[in-house]
Amino acid sequence: MTRTVRHKLPEFSAVAQPGNTKVVKQLIWLYLILLLFEGALRKWFLPMLATPLLIIRDPVALLILLQAANRQLRVLNPYTLVIFTVTIISFLATFFSGHQNLVVALYGARITMLHFPLIFVIGQAFTRRDVERVGNFLLWVAPFMTVLIALQFYSPQTAWVNRGVGGEGSAGFSGAMGYFRPPGTFSFTNGTTLFFSLTAVFVTYFWQASDRAVNFLVLVAATLGVFIAIPLAISRGYLFQLVIIVMFFVAGSLVGGGRAVGRLGIAAVAVPVIMLMLSGLDFVQQGIQVFTQRFTNAAVSEGGLEGTLGERFLGGMANAVGDADELPFWGMGLGIGTNVGATVLTGGRTFLVAEGEWGRIIGEMGGLLGLIVVLTRVLLAIHCGLKSVFYLFQRRPLPWLLTSFGLLQIVTANWSQPTALGFSIFTTGLLVASFNEPTTASRHAA
């Protein structure tokens, strides 16, 4: 007789496993559905409710936490205890040294109080099979998302598919050569990048897995969608992320040996052929030209790849830490670094603190508390990364491949933006859940 043992993260906070997590799982799936289609509701179907729909996943997150507690899933662990404590202190400090606006402070606090603990609830409620079901679902969605972003790419910004949030304006973002970056079903274009990045993880996993339970034609269609989205998304971030995923896939295949190496060899031949065939299609060719021009424009303005990675990415994080001593000790107050907070406080969308995530956290919470939050996220990423390496050598590639996308999501994802927050939390939760493996009844969870 066997049972499923769920390896919590961290493992030293062992909890008794509940007998029924069905409701929790259903709510987690609802969280995912709303993450994928919240933008569609705000743009096309319920534009009059665009503002309240911005936080539509917040009550779902609260319900998940309440149901998890009711079913003895532990929300508290060293990571959440640190984050909760820091958030409470910062929330109180907001009213004696910060902006003193209750609505803005609550909006900022919900990020770490409601969404962050979902990582560990998903990690306990979901099994590895549940994670694979999520991946299978994303594969089914990917071809339709590809068609949608193609329509948005080639349609004028006045077209219905390009309608903006609230049914006003356009949702596209500047690209190149008069073309705009398509947002798909999301409120903003970063959703397209995040969706296809996570889907690409599962595409590589299902091609590599020997026991994949996925429709072959759907896998092929999703694979084509992942490649076609490269030029149509006009996103350098997506291309960089895809390169990282491929590197993890190659490394994982070499470590896995045997059949995995054989499939790597097939991929090494098939991928260039697929890309060559796709590049011959007229609608893809135009996308490639636009994407190439976007790269050229960015290289001129940012100083090439070195400028993009060095100044915007690494430089932004280093500056956030280095400038911490110039800020008020308790920071400027929770939520002030979000677009919603800026709109409430000033009447317009602007960066009152910093555009980068580390700068926002430290600016809102101050040097001490902000650095504690940053360090907690870094330690969580290291914990997940090291454990995924261990599982890779056990020939369990799913955690390793999820790490290829999840690692940066944990450390640097901009949690002030709802879509980025949702993908970061959900991906990390899937990563934690992917460690769960069946074992004999004689063994017990750590």
What pLDDT is recorded for position 440?
35
Residue ending a domain, choose from 302, 320, 342: 302
Are 169 and 257 in a shared domain? Answer: yes
Mean pLDDT confidence for 331-341:
94
What pLDDT is recorded for position 293?
87
Alpha-carbon distance of 92 to 42, in angstroms, equals 33
What pLDDT is recorded for position 147?
97
Are 95 and 238 in a shared domain? Answer: no
Are 436 and 382 in a shared domain? Answer: yes
Are 66 and 163 in a shared domain? Answer: no
- Tell me whether residue 227 is in a domain: yes
- Rounded to whole angstroms, what are the CA distances from 93 to 90, 100, 106, 113, 335? 5, 9, 13, 16, 12
CA 259 to chain centre: 30
H/E/C letters for each residue in 3-34? EEECCCCCCCCCCCCCCCCHHHHHHHHHHHHH
Are 322 and 295 in a shared domain? Answer: no
Q: Tokens 């955690």 label which residue?
A: 399
For the ranges 30-39, 228-237, 277-286, the one whose mean pLDDT is highest: 30-39
Overall size of the chain counted in residues: 446
User: 365 pLDDT exceeds 80?
Assistant: yes
- Tell me whether residue 429 is in a domain: yes
- Rounded to whole angstroms, what are the CA distances from 46 to 128, 148, 164, 226? 35, 19, 12, 29
Average pLDDT, the chain: 87
- The percentage of the chain sitting over the pLDDT mark of 90, rounded to a whole number, equals 65
Nearest to 367 by CA among 338, 332, 339: 332
Q: Tokens 């770490």 label which residue?
A: 112
Residue ending a domain, choose from 242, 276, 302: 302
- Rounded to whole angstroms, what are the CA distances from 285 to 36, 119, 176, 390? 28, 40, 14, 42
Total domains in the chain come to 2
Are 315 and 432 in a shared domain? Answer: yes
Q: Give the pair of three-digit tokens for residue 442.
A: 């004689």
Can you name the residues that pair with 174 across neighbouring β-strands? 180
Nearest to 424 by CA among 145, 31, 37: 31
175 versus 61: the higher-pLDDT residue is 61
Burial class (CB in 10 A: 0-12, 13-18, 19+), 268: exposed
- Tell me whether residue 49 is in a domain: yes
255 versus 310: the higher-pLDDT residue is 255
Can you name the residues that pair with 437 across neighbouring β-strands? 5
Are 316 and 430 in a shared domain? Answer: yes
What pLDDT is recorded for position 16?
38
Torsion 361-363-364-366 (CA) sign = positive
- Tell me whether residue 235 is in a domain: yes
For the ranges 9-23, 102-116, 228-242, 245-259, the one whose mean pLDDT is highest: 102-116
What pLDDT is recorded for position 275?
83
DSSP 74-136: ---SHHHHHHHHHHHHHHHHTTTTS---HHHHHHHHHIIIIITTHHHHHHHH--HHHHHHHHH
What pLDDT is recorded for position 14?
38
User: 4 pLDDT exceeds 90?
Assistant: no
190 versus 354: the higher-pLDDT residue is 190
- Rounded to whole angstroms, what are the CA distances from 297 to 174, 211, 315? 12, 44, 20
What pLDDT is recorded for position 210?
63
Are 326 and 275 in a shared domain? Answer: no
Residue 393, φ and ψ in degrees, nearest 5 = -70, -15
C-beta of residue 38 within 8 angstroms of C-beta of residue 47: no
What pLDDT is recorded for position 258?
62
Alpha-carbon distance of 422 to 428, in angstroms, equals 10
Nearest to 298 by CA among 176, 171, 153: 176
Are 84 and 144 in a shared domain? Answer: no
- Tell me whether residue 118 is in a domain: yes
- Tell me whether residue 130 is in a domain: no
- Tell me whether residue 333 is in a domain: yes
Output Rg (C-alpha) for the chain, integer angstroms: 22
User: 441 pLDDT exceeds 50?
Assistant: no
- Tell me whether residue 131 is in a domain: no
Tens digit of each residue's pLDDT (9 = 90 or more) over 195-225: 999 999 999 999 887 666 789 899 999 999 9
User: 365: domain range?
Assistant: 1-125+310-446
Are 216 and 121 in a shared domain? Answer: no
Collapsing DSSP to helix, strand or coil, 358 comes out as helix
Are 286 and 383 in a shared domain? Answer: no
Tens digit of each residue's pLDDT (9 = 90 or more) over 96-143: 999 999 999 999 999 999 999 999 999 999 999 999 999 999 999 999
- Rounded to whole angstroms, what are the CA distances from 373 to 84, 314, 369, 376? 10, 18, 6, 5
Collapsing DSSP to helix, strand or coil, 281 comes out as coil
Residue ending a domain, choose from 238, 273, 302: 302
Are 316 and 445 in a shared domain? Answer: yes
C-beta of residue 127 within 8 angstroms of C-beta of residue 358: no
